[in-house]
Amino acid sequence: MATSKKFSQLPAASSITNNDLAAIAHEDALAETGYESQKATMIQIGKKLLGDIEYVTDLSGFPSDEQNPFAALLYLRDSILNLLPVDEVSGAVANFETEFALPLIDVKAEIKAVETGTGAKSPSNPYVISGFTGMNLYQRGGNLFNISTKTDGKALKWADGDTFNDVKSIVSDYIEVKEGVRFTSNYYVQWCCYDKDKNYLGNILQGGLITTSGSDSMANTIPSGYGVYYLRLGYRSSQNNNEDMTEKTDIVLSVGNTALPFEPYNGTIFPVSWQTEAGEVFGGYYDFTTGKLVATMAKETVVANSIGMSVDVFTYNVSGMKSGNAMSGNCNRFNVVSSSGSFGVRLGANNATAYFYKLKDNITEITDLASCKQWFTDNPVDIVYPLATPVEYDLTPQQILPLLGVDNIWNDTNGDTTVKYKLGIQKYIDKKIAEVQALVL
């Protein structure tokens, strides 16, 4: 039989055990807790577990067996959890705030193929199409600036992104960011961008351009198309004061237009890797809560001898491709176009066919089928195309707890991240009111 325990003796909510719950709900504990009944005691436990939620008033559905208060307690806790509203956010960085350390209901990471190259894409300047055999999901708190890894006495050079000695400056470590996302600091700082291999790309200007000569600012949007993967911030104190850079511990970098109040850096990484029969994954999503990897795109290298011709357009049937007008896709040599008016490849036109347009105008006057086949033999062309039937793979699901306060979650496979999570009643109401006000104003 469980022994009794005073309500004040309960540990923090995150550390409460089954034995604690059974002890506080024991009938012998009533005199010590000061509550008039076991059910009243359970309500107080529910408040402690879930942050003083006070809206559960109907106890009619609770088990009536007074000799089994623990069962009633579990019913109360599950009832409260079920009543909490669910909110959803999505974006290159899923940015949200929660006051409950409950497992996230759904975390989906979108997978997109990536084309890498510089200059105009053409037959003589093909881009490389890459898929993914693994994924990292990044979780950070509201402040992305890790003050514990800053370098004192250094400043960033606009010209090459390297550092030089400056006793009035500090420099951050490499901060993982996403293109197209706006970030804000609480100080005027330098913004230096680097690619995935930490090669310097340039400084961000307010107009969303990258240059090797720039100026400090408080907010910037990471420009797209440059391959930005890392950011380094440099803070430079005025030379007219005696500010001690080793004590500069309140710098914030947060997602959005407004810098959050300072909070210490808090970050973890959820690595997920997989091996599939398909090899690389070129499109789809991975659901971290169910362990389902859904591949919606595939890659195929054009087989030259299977190319056909219709008037002055060369055709190629793609096995397993979803049919439909102007399907989205990628090609490592030609632009994917939506009509025959531009040079390139069009994926699908009511059937699973790739159409190569205007090759005679752009590739050494190719007008006959034999020459076309020879050209494709000498110049491999890869097409990433939508699958008619998505392929599912069962992987290991990940349980992810939110960080209390502001969370930032994103993935490194180019696509958006979608998060569903439990939200407190008051925060849910406040958020909906703010959304309505934004529409009205």
How far apart CA 413 and CA 110 sit, in angstroms, is 7
CA distance 158 to 204: 10
Per domain, the residue ranges of the chain are 7-83, 143-265, 293-393
Give dist(CA 424, CA 283) in Å, integer.
Answer: 34
Scanning the structure block, which residue is given the tokens 């400084």?
203
H/E segment holding residue 135:
strand 134-141
CB-CB contact of 286 with 272 (8 Å): yes
Q: Could you tell me the two tokens for 335? A: 């632009």
pLDDT of residue 43: 55
- Residue 392: predicted pLDDT: 92
**Which residues 6+ apart lie within 8 Å of 30 measured at CB?**
36, 37, 38, 41
Q: Computed over its alpha carbons, how large is the radius of gyration of the chain?
A: 29
CA 360 to chain centroid: 43
* Structural tokens at position 433: 């009111």
The answer to whether 137 and 289 are in contact (CB under 8 A) is: no
Structure confidence by residue, pLDDT tens digits, 184-230: 999 999 999 999 899 999 888 765 667 776 778 899 999 887 889 99
- Alpha carbon distance 267, 286 (integer Å): 21
All residue ranges of the chain with pLDDT < 70 are: 1-81, 206-209, 213, 238-247, 276-278, 324-327, 338-342, 349-350, 436-437, 439-441
Contact 53, 379 (CB under 8 A): no
Contact between residue 366 and residue 360 where contact means Cβ atoms under 8 Å apart? yes
Tokens of 268: 């973890």
Q: Which conformational region is residue 238 in: left (phi greater than 0), alpha (psi within -120 to 50 degrees), or beta?
A: beta
pTM above the 0.75 mark?
no
- In the DSSP assignment, the letter for residue 262 is P
- Using CA atoms, how far apart are residues 1 and 292, in angstroms rounded to an integer? 43
Q: Which of 92, 137, 440 is nearest to 256 (CA)?
A: 92
Residue 440's contacts (CB-CB under 8 Å, 6 or more residues apart) are none
CA distances from 204 to 142, 151, 185, 251, 276 (A): 22, 21, 14, 19, 39
User: φ, ψ for residue 388 (rounded to 5)?
Assistant: -65, -35
DSSP code of 38?
H
Strands 344-347 and 405-411: what pairing?
unpaired
For residue 401, the 8-state DSSP code is P
pLDDT tens-place string over residues 142-172: 999 998 899 988 989 888 889 999 888 899 9
Nearest CA-CA partner of 41 in 22, 18, 55, 63: 22
d(CA 299, CA 386): 9
Predicted local distance difference test score (pLDDT) of residue 200: 92
Q: What span, in angstroms and rounded, lies between the C-alpha atoms of 277 and 342?
A: 36
Written as one letter, the residue type at 140 is R
* Nearest by Cα to 47 from 26, 24, 31, 23: 24
Burial class (CB in 10 A: 0-12, 13-18, 19+), 132: buried
Contact (CB, 8 A) for 326 and 435: no
Count of C-beta atoms within a 10 Å radius of residue 180: 15
Q: What residues are paired with 310 via a beta bridge?
A: 313
